[in-house]
Amino acid sequence: MIPLWADILIALMVVLGALCALIGAIGLVRLDDFLKRLHAPTKASTLGVGCVLIASIFYFTFLSRGVSVHELLITLLVFLTAPVSAHLLIRAALKDSMRNDRNLPPPPPPPNLLPPG
């Protein structure tokens, strides 16, 4: 039987995770250009996943009376990959925007290439 504190903790994490996911999704819908939108899900959702994973760790640890840690693997994977996704998406969006005359703000050139002064 799951102790009450764990029950509450799990419940909290579950709701928190879902809220994060929802906020990320709202951002995805509400924000008005791609670069802004990108911020919302890449992390809100990631955090949401983290919360649910914590809930899962606790839940299965108590359910099976053994430590459940494989959820950490997913966390590892998410943290490993999410930055790359975002990074590649920005590159793609900028290139696509350039190609199709869309309205994303182009990034400035790197400072070392700026004319001196």
Subset of 28-87 contacting other proteins (CB under 8 A): 28-32, 34-49, 52-53, 55-56, 59-60, 63-64, 66-74, 76-87
* 117 belongs to the binding site for other proteins (CB under 8 A): no
Q: Burial code of 71-80, b = ≥16 C-beta within 10 A, e = fewer? A: beeeeeebee
Of residues 56 and 117, the one with the C-beta less far from other proteins: 56
To other proteins, the closest distance from the beta carbon of 114 in angstroms equals 10
Contact with other proteins (CB under 8 A) among 101, 105, 116, 117: 105
Nearest to 18 by CA among 55, 71, 69: 55
